[in-house]
Amino acid sequence: MFNAQQKLNKAITKSIDNLDAVVIGAGFAGLFMLHRLRELGLFVRVFEAAQDLGGTWFSNRYPGARCDVESMEYSYQFSEELQQEWKWTERYASQPEILNYINYVADKFDLRQDIQFNSRVKRAVFNEAIKRWTIEIEDGQKVNAQFCIMATGCLSATNLPKFKGLEIFQGSLYHTGNWPSEKINFSGKTVGIIGTGSSAVQSIPIIAQEAKHLFVFQRTPNYVVPARNQPIDPLKERQIKADYANFRERNNRKPAAVSIEYNDRSALDATREERQLEYERRWQEGGFNFLGAFNDLITNQAANETAAEFVRSKIRQIVDDPKVAEILSPHHVLGCKRLCLDTNYYQTYNRSNVTLVDLSRLPIEEIIANGLRIKGKEYPLDCLILATGFDAMTGALLKINIRGKNGITLKDKWSAGPKSYLGICINGFPNLFTISGPGSPSVLTNMLPSIEQHVNWIAECIKYLRESDFVCIEATKEAEEAWVVHVNQVASQTLLTTCNSWYLGANIPGKPRVFMPYIGFPAYVAQCDRIVLNAYQGFRLT
């Protein structure tokens, strides 16, 4: 199949080597970008490394994979017809349902014809003489385009820790972020899973039901609150659909573009009983609403500790063995790593076929042919699952050899951490756009509205360039540096920089420790709009 696709790619080359725009990635961002640019009449090609659509939702198909933003919100809002006709079945959509939705959108807007699959981009080079990008695919195909748009995803480059001996493991090895298409049967198998982030929290309860035994290897415990997933409430669905535009508008005015109900009160002004009531109500409702319980949870350590202790008390209530409950209890700031939503996560540790192994003091020594070893003790395993996360926000971009003006590579430019203006454009790299790049709200928000805002901004920018006879747009060095300072200033007013999160790149050995996302969706959108109104302030148009 791959050879046939390669031949097809070569045949296409002759007709598509001169494009207006190349979009890299066919997930939510790439698909909408293609749609918007086609509306503007541009000749566009999308290159996708995988064999089909979906981006992160194509590759993250591990057992239990599900979105943690509610389905009525985690969907496109650009088409009223689409948002009216699509019917979600659950409060939080499962990975297969999201993939169905993405395919439905691609068919409805006839997007597939401009997408080339099995086409991993390995190089993108800006040719200064002709002011165009040359984009090269792994199989050697080259195209050139005026605009190069990276829709490569924030969480798409998997983190594969360099465990000693990993290559000699004889059992089945999986990564949650790159899960095979076929169903994996764990029944009768002894399974090990490394990691306890969102992916592990979702998959552990499902795998535990099937496996003979499940060993969970945990380095740092996470805060996990109930998702309370359930079939979609038909009344709520009708109410939202009756006024979808306003529902979206209200959410877009919230800090994370999610319908969290924010309490305008400090946790420290409330009595112990009042706090307990507020946390308990939100715990019972489920979801990220827990984070809105008080207005100072991410800015005041003492306030945060009240929420953290509430979750720890729940862990002690749910988990039968007090020693296991203690190992599962986090002590970092709640929310400085992404809060996890669960269905039966803590309850799973009461099963007799589940063992929690604490790596906090004794790391994995090495992987061996039939399992792994920790301080001389061997754990025989048939299957090993790496739920070890991603080289977030910059990983997928830096996997491509991107060269801008004067031959400078993005890798060199970002050697001390990513620098970008608005998370959209990079000084030295004209006509290159990054959708939800570092320096934009992206992963701290509902990704769908964030993606749509970026795509719309980029489409309007390209329209303006064409109508005004400009050939190139480039962020100025000064604007870019000021933006990087601003992103860090905003972050430093919160507690989000206080732990070893992937927001800071701290999960990847050697990655510069820089807080990458921008905190606050509405302020960000206002800033983007203001810049346009001020004739693309901070950009050089030529």
Nearer to ligand NAP, 395 or 404 (CB): 395
Could you give the CA distance from residue 220 to residue 509 in angstroms, rounded to a whole number? Answer: 16
Nearer to ligand NAP, 152 or 202 (CB): 202
Helix pair 447-467, 244-252: axis angle to 10 deg: 90
Q: Closest by alpha carbon to 104, among 85, 78, 77?
A: 85
Nearer to ligand NAP, 163 or 429 (CB): 163
Q: How far is the CB of 261 from ligand NAP (least distance, A)?
A: 20
The phi, psi pair for 486, rounded to 5°, reads: -60, -45
Nearer to ligand NAP, 101 or 390 (CB): 390
Q: How far is the CB of 177 from ligand NAP (least distance, A)?
A: 6
Residue nearest to ligand NAP (CB): 197
Nearer to ligand NAP, 19 or 387 (CB): 387
- Give the pair of three-digit tokens for residue 394: 């910059």
Three-state SS letters, 338-372: CCEEECCHHHHCCCCCEEEEECCCCCCCEEECCEE
Q: How far is the CB of 341 from ligand NAP (least distance, A)?
A: 6
Nearer to ligand NAP, 287 or 418 (CB): 287
Q: How far is the CB of 126 from ligand NAP (least distance, A)?
A: 31
Nearer to ligand NAP, 17 or 365 (CB): 365
Could you give the CA distance from residue 431 to residue 450 in angstroms, rounded to a whole number? Answer: 20
Nearer to ligand NAP, 197 or 292 (CB): 197
Half-sphere exposure of 181 (CA within 13 A, CB side): 6
Are 515 and 488 in contact by the 8 Å Cβ rule? The answer is yes
Q: How far is the CB of 296 from ligand NAP (least distance, A)?
A: 23
Q: Residues 276, 282, 287, CA angle at the centre, nearest 5°?
A: 145
CA 447 to chain centre: 7
Q: How far is the CB of 418 from ligand NAP (least distance, A)?
A: 18
Interface residues with ligand NAP (CB under 6 A) are: 66-68, 155, 161, 176-177, 194-200, 202, 219-220, 338, 359, 364, 387-390, 443, 502, 507
Map residue 116 onto helix, strand or coil: strand
Q: How far is the CB of 70 from ligand NAP (least distance, A)?
A: 11
Nearer to ligand NAP, 166 or 541 (CB): 166
Q: How far is the CB of 443 from ligand NAP (least distance, A)?
A: 6
Q: What letter represents residue 174's amino acid?
A: Y
Half-sphere exposure of 475 (CA within 13 A, CB side): 24
Nearer to ligand NAP, 30 or 330 (CB): 330
Q: How far is the CB of 448 from ligand NAP (least distance, A)?
A: 12
Q: How far is the CB of 536 from ligand NAP (least distance, A)?
A: 32
Half-sphere exposure of 198 (CA within 13 A, CB side): 20
Which contacts (CB < 8 Å, 24+ apart) does range 455-460 have?
A: 455/29, 455/32, 455/33, 455/36, 456/36, 456/78, 457/424, 457/528, 457/532, 458/33, 458/36, 458/149, 458/424, 458/433, 459/33, 459/36, 459/37, 459/39, 459/40, 460/532
Could you give the CA distance from residue 170 to residue 190 in angstroms, rounded to a whole number? Answer: 13
Nearer to ligand NAP, 67 or 308 (CB): 67
Q: What is the residue-wise DSSP string for 235-250? A: HHHHHHHHTHHHHHHH
Q: How far is the CB of 505 from ligand NAP (least distance, A)?
A: 11
